[in-house]
Amino acid sequence: MSDTVSRRQWLIKTGIGVGATVALPGLLPALEASRALGGASYGEVLKQLERDITTQRRAAGPIRLCFNENPFGMSPKAKDAIMNAWGEHPHYDPPVMKELTEAYATHVGVKPGHVLVTQGSSEVLSLAALATGMKGGEMVLPWPTFEQLPDYATSMGVTVHKVPLTADLHHDFAAMNAKIGANTKLVFVCNPNNPTAVLDNQSAMRDFVISTAKKCLVVVDEAYHDFADDPSYKSMTDLVTAGHNIIVSRTASKIHSLAGLRVGFAIAHPDVIKKMAVFATGNPNTFGMRAALASVQDTEYQEFVKAKNREGRALLTAALTNAGRRVAPSQTNFVFFHAGRPVEQLQKHFLAGGFRVGRAFQPYGDWCRISIGTPEEMKQFVTLIPGALA
């Protein structure tokens, strides 16, 4: 009997398996399903996961359509990787750090020296601020956008220039460029943007990033890269290999569903990576990195999640459009729409129906952000829309 099987049986026999099922819905069933495939395909395991997950999420309380999480949880192969990693947890500097760095570099088409594995993409942003010596300087970004970096910069005494989006919710590149001065240390862009879900014009975005990188460091947040299916979309990672002064930020929290395990990736010139690494607080945890390594390589699971996200997104977009609401064109795993009333009213209505939706994002206080759940959840959710907007 292998050590892996012995550990799993020990967990179940001692009752820890029961607790694990409560804490991590679907963990042991998914693992056992992957062990007991027999003649079944991995695709059939994923179909079973889809059938089980909505029931499990509903049993856990109101369904969370508020944090842009992957409703299906991590890949079954990632769960297996965690269970098989128990022997590694006592060690500093685990080998998986190098393995994940190399695998992710291959995944995005760069050399390993261009990649830094971090404790979530939030650490990428804070390390970028520290590595550029932002204290006392200035930064420029669109507004609203992901708030972690401007909040961190403000705590460092940085002057943050928040440039309003255009009327169609795009980055206002001309206005952002006008704010860049001699003391600007960093410019931040997010594409697709959060909370708007909008993908900017690729030519305009690329031209802005290239020209701005000649003046200061540019951080490109690509947290939702995996959900963008517009044919015109292209990551900015090729600008890194071309030598431009940019950092591309990626996360394992979205399509890979490892938000609680905190794994992120910085993609930049090796010299920038070395500067960032000086300020890193340590390696991400071993289990998170093992899960990320397995998930990055599990392309079938990624395609499954993308397909289900498109299905749920289409259901929600159609329902909101039919209700006469303006819906921002989404290239993410969430939808941003004009509710025409304070979002707090919608939060109460949807919570009464068993769903949590996003908070207000000023100055769009009468817009609402809704994360995409499973298709079955979205079918249930859209029945609540007429009452919310009546």
How confident is the model over 110-146, as pLDDT tens digits? 999 999 999 989 999 999 988 888 888 999 999 999 9
pLDDT of residue 292: 97
pLDDT value, residue 11: 41
Mean pLDDT over 18-47 rounds to 57
Residues composing the chain: 390
For residues 154 and 158, give the distance between their C-alpha atoms in angstroms, rounded to a whole number. Answer: 5
Over 60: is that where the pLDDT of 353 sits? Answer: yes
> Residue 320 pLDDT > 90, yes or no?
yes
What per-residue confidence (pLDDT) applies to 318? 98
pLDDT of residue 20: 39
Closest CA to 254 of 230, 275, 227, 234: 227
Q: Assess whether pLDDT exceeds 70 at residue 14.
A: no
- Give the span between the Cα atoms of 135 and 20, in whole angstroms: 44
Mean pLDDT, rounded, for 70-88: 94
Position 39 scores a pLDDT of 58
Rounded CA gap, 371 and 291, in Å? 23
**Domains, the chain, ordered by start:** 87-297 (3.40.640.10), 303-389 (3.90.1150.10)
pLDDT at 135: 83
Q: Give backbone dihedrals phi and psi of 121, rounded to 5 degrees, phi first.
A: -70, -20
Instruction: Report residue 371's pLDDT band, with 50, 70 and 90 as the boundaries.
Output: very high
Mean pLDDT to the nearest integer, 172-189: 97
- 287/96 Cα distance (integer angstroms): 9
pLDDT surpasses 90 at 303? yes
Higher pLDDT, 38 or 203: 203
**What are the CA-CA distances from residue 278 to residues 25, 91, 275, 288, 300 (Å)?**
37, 21, 6, 21, 36
Q: pLDDT above 70 covers what percent of the chain?
A: 90
For residue 241 the two structure tokens come to 């290999």
The answer to whether 125 and 217 are in contact (CB under 8 A) is: no
Distances (CA, A) of 263 to 86, 101, 282: 18, 11, 12
Q: In the prediction, which pLDDT does 38 show?
A: 56
- Going by C-alpha positions, the residue among 150, 57, 91, 82 that lies closest to residue 292 is 82
How much is the pTM? 0.89
What whole-number percentage of the chain has pLDDT above 90?
76
Q: pLDDT category, 32, cuts 50, 70, 90?
A: low
Q: How confident is the model at residue 24 (pLDDT cuts 50, 70, 90)?
A: very low
Residue 377 has a pLDDT of 97
The token pair at 62 is 């109101």
- The answer, yes or no, to whether residue 2 has pLDDT greater than 90, is no
Q: Is the pLDDT of residue 222 over 80?
A: yes
Least confident of 43-47, 67-71, 189-193, 231-235: 43-47
* pLDDT of 227 higher than 80: yes
Is residue 9 scored above 90 in pLDDT?
no
Reading the block at residue 180, the tokens are 């860049």
**pLDDT for the residue numbered 131:** 87
Average of per-residue pLDDT across 84-109: 92
How confident is the model over 348-356, as a mean pLDDT?
97
* DSSP state letter for 337: E
What's the mean per-residue pLDDT of the chain? 90
Nearest residue to 32 via CA among 65, 63, 9: 9
